[in-house]
Amino acid sequence: MEITKIYTKELRFRINLPVREVSWGMLMSISEIIKMLEAGLGKDKVHSLDFERFVYGTDWSPRTPDEIVPPDVVVTPKTTEDVVKVVKIAYETNTPVTCGGGLTGMAGGAVPIHKGIFLDMTSMNRIIEIDVENQTVRVQAGATLQEVNDALEKHGLWLTNLPESKWSCTVGSSIALENDSTFGMRWGRINQALTSVQIVTGTGEVLELGHRKSHHTSSGYKLKDLIISSEGTLGVITEATLKVEPLPEYRTVDMILFPSLKTAVNYVNRLLKAGLQIEAAHCNCKRRLNFYASTYKEKYGKAPQIPDWANALLGISFSGNRDFVEFERSYAMKIAESEEFKGQILKEREIVDSWWTSKYTLLFEAFKQKWPNTQKEKKFAAADVGVPMGRLEDIYKKFVEISEKHGLEILGMNAYFENPNSIGFSLSCAVYVDYRSKKEVEAFRKFHEDMSKAAVDLEGTMSTYMSDTYLKVPYFEYEHGKSAEYMKKIKLLFDPKGIMNPGKKFARSSLKEVVQ
Amino acid sequence: MISESKLERLDLSKYKKNIEKHEKKSLSEYRRDIETCFGTSCNFCEKDCQVYQLKKVKTYTSRGKNRTMLGLLEGKVGYSEELADLFYTCTLCASCDARCAFRNTHRFLEMRRELVRKGLGKKEHKAVVDTIVTKGDMLGDTRSPAKIFEEDINKARVHARYKVPMFVGCMYKSMPEELRKIISVLGRLGVALEFIDEKCCGYPVYALGYEKEFESVKKNFIASLGKNADKGILTVCPTCTAFLNEEHGINAVHAVELAADLVDDDETKKKIKKLDLKATYHDPCHLARGLGVTEPPRKLIRSLGIELVEMHANRLFSKCCGGGGGMLIRDRELSEEIAKRRLEQAREVSVDKLIVSCPTCDQNLTNASFAKKEKGQKRVKVLNIWNLLDDALEK
């Protein structure tokens, strides 16, 4: 645990003092690097004024307003060649490179904690090819998931990997952290869709990894898979080929109350056994259920009809041809209300609609998008641990215990079923954090660390959709054991100088130990 | 001048809206809201922000501008000419507000005032502001619309049953051909207009952040109105309409709302020659997002027999034409690029005719429609709603 302490110290140093460590060893001054970038890419793609950099010093993750870490310079590339030029300059001058998309990450993955160059990839948002016959799309990595779907819609196709941040989350970010998807129960996540990916390594070399447009390969080492949830630590993701699906013509969405989380999980498993194709399934704990109920009461002036025995609320959707979907839905509802599960279909459609709005349509009434109003005092923040299906109740108990230990108010737990046609979920263990209070933000980071350890102890993992970022650095070895050393060697193979998104997954100083 | 009339004064009270007045707080008073944006960071504001979609640099989004203001409050960012450019590179279209719980544009207006206080206003804008201060008109036209259009107004009175005062606004004053049609159309619909020796409502001065100048412009505007607007006033410019409501507390009613009701009359219906057209309608920001007037223009268009096809972005989520917020004065190129994107959205739904109900949208989109097109790209023709009414209504 000695190493953990060192990492923790380094992490705190970075977060509390957003200045570059003198010992980083950049070989040129930042003004010289800016000149090189401007000469290579043109001034219009290089942004170095204080306010131009400031917005890039933070994402969605909880931090106090004085913890914004602006990069030294921001670059908005248009092509892979632009990225190559940037990385070559960074390699030559030993400058950190962090790339990002919509900056809605929940754990600071794209926050340039070591400053340096920030690559805003959203300027690379071209849809390169839509291959209708082969159901694939080739895009520049900075295209948002919504932009891809807007382009696909006229061909009756869609990219199914859709988190709530789809309006600003880019394809590259989605690959870089393997985020959650509303439709994971049927289609999985970006890893199921990605057939090939282009990256620029830490030396500025362009590599195409994957198997072109074919869906599987048993040839070679699967380097493409290394890029998924690599957080840009191996290189910059510049283009991707993705498998897309026919748009469904019809969809039903419902919510069902269950006596326990376990019953809800068993119910989903039972539907799978019956052969139903569930499109989306999300399970909320009692506290989340209470949150929905109190929001409803506030809005409509009456309490929803929720029995005392209800301890879990399952949101579920089916999609496809209308007649078949109607059959699936009615079958699923019949099983839910059977003696076996004793569920109750939620009668208040407003709650169902509100859940689906926040999950998928995002069509909040104009001027009434709810999030800012609910985050005036505190914000939602979560640990994204994962456990096997039989450990759901255990991790829930741990979540409550750890939140209370750190004095954090609990919002609740969600299980997002994201294993295609099989049981398996990501977890959002959410608490409220006063982001104006250093003490509470610090308590949240401790909470995150404790949750990470608890999940590994329950035969699970510390991250299911935010990736490691700097938050999980202290428990990286705890989860990965000796394989962490192999990971560092892989990192150095792609990025010999350790300049790509440094400080994420492992502290940069720990890479030196590997070299030695 | 128009002679005294026995026509009945049209009651506009039923159109009165409960409009939130312009909020005026200092930057530090906005701190909590700015921090809430920092805490929320949903970034929903970027989707419809036309400036951001063209620039693809995050500082231009509402989140980016809020973050910049946080930097100013934290002392991490300083005032500069370039920072002023950022806050003036915004059309104030409020598409960010529509996706948010906050009125971000109110904060941006305060930022502009702060920039002017610090001597960082833009010279191109100052020239327009000075013109308004000295001439009472954005384009320096000091002539009285009541005199210029006297003949047209008297001609239109023949059919009228009602009379109502109208505030024309600087933009339509500079478009006499269209204004004549408005006078004639409303006359044929039974309403005689009464023009006044109006002065600019002051929106450009206000929106560009010149608070001291605005006070004098406001005084002149109020004086020019006299008692004419006491029972409400008819308008044709969405920006003036919204500003008269939001800032001056006047029940200003855009004429499309009134016209949409007037065409419902059985006698009038008989006088409409159906137009064989397929077109889309572009919601002006101030009419749709500012005043919530989205259905009357659609009803009006349909009443003319036009097949209305909606663009994907419509009503409260309509996208800006690029002409607002002073953009057209300083950055015509960007303004035109934004307009071209809007025309492209009409092409996306296979329509080559786009109807407008705002003089700024009309000019900006029309100019863009003549811009060089890609090979094989069809021109989207911009049609003013009053021209269509003029064609359809029996003369």
Suggest the residue from B58, B66, B82, B105 to mutate for an interface test with chain A (most A CBs closer than 10 A): B58
Give A 98-117 residues with CB within 8 A of chain B.
Answer: 102-104
pLDDT digits (tens, 9 = 90+) for A153-162: 999 999 999 9
What is the pLDDT of chain B when averaged over all its residues? 95
Check residue B23 and give its pLDDT: 84
Rounded distance between C-alpha atoms, residue A356 and residue A358, angstroms: 5
Confidence of residue B376 (pLDDT cuts 50, 70, 90): confident
pLDDT at A9: 44
The DSSP symbol for A386 reads: B
Model's pTM, two decimal places? 0.95
Whether A234 and A500 have beta carbons less than 8 Å apart is answered as yes
Residues of A in contact with B58 (CB under 8 A): 55-56, 103, 120, 122
| pLDDT value at residue A508 | 81
**Cα–Cα distance for residue pair B113/B105, rounded to 1 Å:** 12
Q: What is the share, in percent, of chain A residues with pLDDT greater than 70?
A: 95
pLDDT attached to residue A18? 36
Closest Cα partner for A173 from A124, A222, A244, A113? A124
**Can you read off the two tokens belonging to residue B274?**
């159906």
Q: Note the residue count of chain B.
A: 395
CA atoms of A86 and A42, how far apart (whole Å): 12
Task: Collect all residues of chain B within an 8 Å Cβ-Cβ radius of residue A366.
Answer: 98-99, 289, 316-317
Kindly determine whether residue A368 and residue B40, on different chains, have CB atoms separated by under 8 Å.
Answer: no
Asked if ipTM goes beyond 0.85, one says yes
State residue A515's pLDDT score.
61
Q: For residues B270 and B289, is the Cβ–Cβ distance under 8 A?
A: no
The CA distance from B181 to the nearest CA of chain A, in Å, is 34
Closest-CA residue to B182 (of B387, B2, B393): B387
The pLDDT value given to residue B319: 97
Q: How far apart are CA B276 and CA A85, in angstroms?
A: 56
* DSSP annotation string for A128-163: EEEETTTTEEEEETTSBHHHHHHHHHTTTEE-----
Give the pLDDT of residue A507: 86
Q: Select the residue of A51, A58, A60 nearest B68 (Cβ to Cβ).
A: A51
Q: Determine the topology of domain A15-247 in CATH.
A: 3.30.465
Task: Compute the distance between CA of residue B35 and CA of residue A498 in angstroms, rounded to an integer.
Answer: 34
Of A60, A65, A76, Cβ closest to residue B70: A65
CB pairs under 8 A between A and B: 127
Q: Per-residue pLDDT for B132 more than 50? A: yes
All structural domains of chain B with their residue ranges: 8-19+141-197+214-260, 28-102, 263-392
Phi, psi of B308 (to 5 degrees): -95, 120
B124 pLDDT exceeds 90? yes
CB pair distance less than 8 Å for A371 and B42: yes
Three-state secondary structure of B347-391: HHCCCCEEEECCHHHHHHHHHHHCCCCCCCCCCCEEEEHHHHHHH
Q: What are the pLDDT digits (tens) for B199-225?
A: 999 999 999 999 999 999 999 999 999
- Residue A23 binned pLDDT confidence (cut-offs 50, 70, 90): low
Crossing angle between the packed helical segments A261-274 and A322-336, to the nearest 10 degrees:
140
Q: Give me the pLDDT at residue A6, please.
A: 39
User: Using CA atoms, how far apart are residues A379 and A430, in angstroms rounded to an integer?
Assistant: 10
**So what's the pLDDT on residue B1?**
42
Stretch 23-62 of chain A: residues touching chain B, C-beta under 8 Å: 47, 49-52, 54-56, 58-60
With a cut of 70, say whether residue A231 has pLDDT above it: yes
DSSP-derived secondary structure letter, B309: -
Confidence check: pLDDT of A306 > 60 = yes
Average pLDDT, chain A: 93
Q: Does A78 reach chain B within 8 Å, measured CB to CB?
A: no
Which of A49, A367, A378, A380 should we substitute to test contact with B (largest number of B Cβ atoms within 10 Å)? A367
* Confidence band for B133, pLDDT divided at 50, 70 and 90: very high
- E-only strand ranges, B60-137: none
Cβ pair B101:A373 closer than 8 A: yes
Contacts with B, A 163-202, CB within 8 Å: 165, 167-168
CATH 3.40.30.10 fits domain A250-363: no
On the 0-12 / 13-18 / 19+ scale of CB atoms within 10 A, A100 is buried
Mean pLDDT of B168-179: 96
Pick the CATH number of A377-417+424-475 from 3.30.70, 2.40.50, 2.120.10, 3.20.20: 3.30.70
Across the interface, whether the CB atoms of B42 and A104 are under 8 A apart is answered yes
- Please tell me which of the candidates B35, B68, B80 has its beta carbon nearest to residue A65: B35
Higher-scoring residue by pLDDT: A374, B382:
B382
CATH 2.40.110.10 fits B263-392, yes or no: no
A422 against A9, higher pLDDT? A422
Distance CA B185, CA B188 (A): 5
User: Taking residues B98-115, what's their average pLDDT?
Assistant: 96
pLDDT digit string (tens) for B288-339?
A: 999 999 999 999 999 999 999 999 999 999 999 999 999 999 999 999 999 9
CA-to-CA distance for A126 and B275, rounded, in angstroms?
40
Residue % of chain B over a pLDDT of 90: 94
Q: What is the pLDDT averaged over residues A213-234?
A: 97
**Given CB atoms, is A122 within the 8 Å cutoff of chain B?**
yes
Looking at the predicted structure, is the pLDDT value of residue A462 above 60? yes
Of residues A74, A102, A369, nearest to B99 (C-beta): A369
pLDDT at A24: 66
Instruction: Give the residue extent of every domain in chain A.
Output: 15-247, 250-363, 377-417+424-475
Candidate from A51, A65, A122 with C-beta closest to B77: A51
Say yes or no for a CB contact (<8 Å) between B40 and A372: yes
DSSP single-letter state for residue B288: I
Average of pLDDT values for B365-393? Answer: 94
The per-residue pLDDT for B5 is 55
Range in A162-171, A218-227, A472-481, A506-515 with the lowest mean pLDDT: A506-515
pLDDT digit string, tens, across residues A248-277: 999 999 999 999 999 999 999 999 999 999
Q: Does position B6 have pLDDT exceeding 90, yes or no?
A: no
Tell whether the model's pLDDT for residue B146 goes beyond 60.
yes
> Per-residue pLDDT tens for B148-161?
999 999 999 998 99
